[in-house]
Structure 1
Amino acid sequence: MIKEEIIGIKEQIESILLLGGDEIKIRDLSKFFSVSIEKILQILEELKKERFNTGINIEIDQEIVYLITNPRCGEIVNLYFKQDVKPKKLSNAALETLSIIAYRQPITKSEIEAVRGVSTDRVVQTLEERKFIRICGKRETIGRPNLYEITDKFLGYLGISSVEELPQYEDMKEKLNGTNENK
Structure 2
Amino acid sequence: MKSTILAGVSLAALLAVPAAAADLAYKAPAAYAPPPMAFTWTGFYIGANAGYGWGTADWSPDIDGFIGGLQAGYNWQGAGPLVLGVETDIQYADVSSGIFSLDYFGTVRARIGYAFDQVLVYGTGGLAYGGGTYETWGLSNSKNQIGWTLGGGAEYAINNNWSVKGEYLYVDLGEESYQTLTGPRDVGVSSNILRAGVNYRF
**TM-score band w.r.t. shorter chain:** under 0.3
Greater share of helix residues, 1 or 2?
1
Rg bigger for which structure? 2
TM-score (norm 1): 0.20
